[in-house]
């Protein structure tokens, strides 16, 4: 009987010890839970299955293909993509017109956490010329061969003064000044890409030029966002 009592006591001690270890482990796990805070909310990172870094951007400029005007790109946020964006920003800055906006964020499962949202950089087209789009449209509205050839004489001339451009087109093409010509000739003189660009621009949005002093901070913010992701991955 004494042996049975001893065995029973040992078994009880083992059970209590196992229960104690289990409780302590649960407490430890609860203490180790990591919470990510944003927008006055908390997400338990230990319960998140996927953390995906993303970047959405619209970088449109004159040299884009016509079909790419205002195209939104959604890419993985990484060093290679950041380098690509830096190159695109440098090209856009030198272009006659552009639209730039970038957002870096993380997807914590289905939760979107924005890490960086750039300013909106915008520059309107400023030059006009007799281009194929203008010649084609005017021909469709009745430009004859003589008018076409005469207007083609200034095809390579680039104008920054829209009024001078309009006057020369009217004079060389020998066409009548009308509400239609006043409205459409300057618009057609911008070219197909610029026309599509301006058709998508918010008319209330003010121009905001992109300079070298803007590009480096943007890249720094993107690198910071990527480092932030690496810190909680």
SS3 of the chain: CHHHHHHHHHHHHHHHHHHHHHHHHHHHHHHHCCEEEECCEEEEHHHCCCEEEEEEEEEEECCCCHHHCCCCEEEECCHHHHHHHHHHHHHHHHCCCEEEEEEEEEEECCEEEEEEECCCEEECCCCECCCHHHHHHHHHCCCCHHHHHHHHCCCCCCECCHHHHHHHHHHHHCCCCCHHHHHHHHHHHCCHHHHHHHHHCCCCCCCECCCHHHHHHHHHHHHHHHHHHHHHC
Over residues 12-31, the pLDDT tens digits come to 554 544 445 444 443 434 44
pTM for the whole thing? 0.75
Residue 116 pLDDT class (50, 70, 90 cuts): very high
**pLDDT at res. 2:** 53
**pLDDT at res. 67:** 77
**pLDDT at res. 160:** 95
**pLDDT at res. 35:** 66
Mean pLDDT of the chain: 85
Over residues 74-94, the pLDDT tens digits come to 999 999 999 999 999 999 999
CB 46 within 8 A of CB 32: yes
pLDDT at 4 over 90: no
Q: What pairing do the DSSP bridges indicate for beta strands 98-108 and 111-117?
A: antiparallel
Over residues 124-141, the pLDDT tens digits come to 999 999 999 899 999 988
**pLDDT at res. 26:** 37
Question: Hey, what are 194's tokens?
Answer: 């610029």
The residue among 205 and 165 whose pLDDT is bigger is 165
pLDDT at 69 over 90: no
pLDDT at 111 over 50: yes
């Amino acid at each position: 009987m004494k042996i049975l009592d001893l065995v029973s006591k040992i078994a009880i001690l083992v059970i209590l010890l196992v229960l104690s270890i289990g409780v302590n482990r649960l407490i430890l796990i609860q203490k180790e839970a990591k919470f990510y805070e944003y927008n006055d909310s908390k997400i338990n990172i230990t319960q998140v299955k996927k953390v995906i870094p993303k970047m959405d951007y619209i970088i449109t400029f004159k040299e884009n293909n016509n079909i790419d005007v205002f195209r939104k790109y959604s890419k993985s946020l990484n060093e290679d993509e950041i380098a690509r964006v830096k190159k695109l920003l440098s090209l856009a800055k030198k272009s006659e017109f552009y639209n730039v906006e970038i957002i870096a964020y993380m997807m914590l499962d289905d939760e979107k956490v924005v890490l960086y949202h750039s300013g909106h950089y915008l520059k309107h087209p400023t030059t006009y010329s007799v281009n194929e789009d203008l010649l084609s449209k005017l021909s469709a509205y009745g430009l004859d061969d003589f008018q076409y050839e005469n207007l083609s004489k200034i095809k390579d001339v680039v104008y920054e003064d829209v009024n001078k451009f309009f006057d020369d087109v009217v004079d060389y093409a020998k066409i009548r000044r009308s509400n239609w010509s006043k409205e459409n000739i300057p618009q057609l003189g911008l070219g197909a890409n610029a026309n599509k660009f301006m058709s998508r621009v918010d008319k209330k949005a003010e121009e905001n030029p992109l300079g070298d002093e803007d590009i480096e901070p943007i890249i720094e913010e993107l690198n910071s966002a990527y480092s932030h992701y690496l810190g909680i991955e």
